[in-house]
Amino acid sequence: MMLTLTFAYSSGIFEIYREKNQLVRPFGLLSTTHRALFTMTPQDLKTIMGSGLLSFPITDFDEQGNFRPKTYIERLEWLAPYGASALFAAGGTGEYFSLSGPEYSEVIKTAVDTCRGKVPIIAGAGGPTCTAIAHAQEAERLGAHGILLLPHYLTEAGQEGLIEHVAQVCNSVKFGVIVYNRDRTKLTADSLAILAERCPNLIGFKDGVGNIETMSSIYMKMGDRFSYLGGLPTAEVYAAAYKALGTPVYSSAVFNFIPKTAMEFYKAVAADDIATQHKLLKEFFMPYLAIRNRVEGYGVSIIKAGAKIVGHDGGPVRAPLTDLKPHEVEELAALIKKLGPQ
């Protein structure tokens, strides 16, 4: 029998084990054998999601559009010490939707191997049910700590079909699953209650819709059955409102290039420091949104542009996304410069 104890520190996650009543070393110092034994239960993942800032690293591509593991590793090593509670590999900001099957496996394996013992990795998985299941099982095999279940596919679907889709994915794996309400996948409070009964490993709900009435009804109905994650684009803009709804945790895309400022803003939200929030919203986030909102899809493109500006170039976005224009990159660089060193 093995008991896993998880402690959250400002520098990330620190794990120790008790195996057969013998204390084992900190996770980062474990032997390969002991690392292979490590498991994180869905409830462990739920606890981690319950506090702290989460982020989605971009996926590095070279000029030919191929996955570039060297700089991806460097990116993860740069971001890990800043204190994010978990990192989502191959999520929306990580261009999950443009990765081939073999690339997906390589991205997840690289993230898991690089961040082992430092910060948990939650993998993106989505698309048609069979694809989502295949990716969820692959992420579990590679050692990810859970998945973020991204929207299904082009066509609309009723609640009965959405319930079955999520249930099939949850039942295909043992680790924790976080469902993402966004676009075509919009589960109601009643549907989530059904799924909570059918799927013990469904432990998290991420909202990317922004309907306050719906979010409030979900939280009132489900309470602490789930951990909740604010997931609207540039979540900082909505963070205070979502905290008031009972959802204090959110995912930060700008953490990719201004991690110090992202953590400063998160701490200001946690401490109800309205003055700091308003200062950063006025001086950075609102003008940042003015650039992001010019073209659909810029939500990812602007993150890659920011990473390049601060010296952590992730390469171009893949089609159908388009990169920022040169004058827009200059505008973004001016905003970043005002924030000071990260």
Cβ-proximal residues to 66 (8 Å cutoff; 6+ apart), any chain: none
Sequence-ordered alpha helix ranges (H) in 90-188: 101-115, 129-142, 159-171
- What is the structure's pLDDT at 8? 36
Domain 40-272 in CATH: superfamily? Aldolase class I (3.20.20.70)
- What is the structure's pLDDT at 246? 86
- What is the structure's pLDDT at 296? 95
**Contact criterion met (CB below 8 Å) for 235 and 250:** yes
Residue ranges in the chain whose pLDDT is less than 50: 1-37
Q: Alpha-carbon dihedral of residues 89, 105, 125, 260, nearest 10 degrees?
A: 0
- What is the structure's pLDDT at 287? 98
- What is the structure's pLDDT at 156? 87
Q: Which two tokens stand for residue 217?
A: 């009804």
The single-letter DSSP state of residue 175 is: S
Q: How far apart are CA 149 and CA 151, in angstroms?
A: 7
- What is the structure's pLDDT at 60? 98
* Portions of the chain given CATH number 3.20.20.70: 40-272
By C-alpha distance, which of 250, 229, 167, 160 is closest to 201? Answer: 167
Length of the chain, in residues: 342
Cβ-proximal residues to 301 (8 Å cutoff; 6+ apart), any chain: 295, 317, 321, 322, 323, 324
- What is the structure's pLDDT at 155? 85
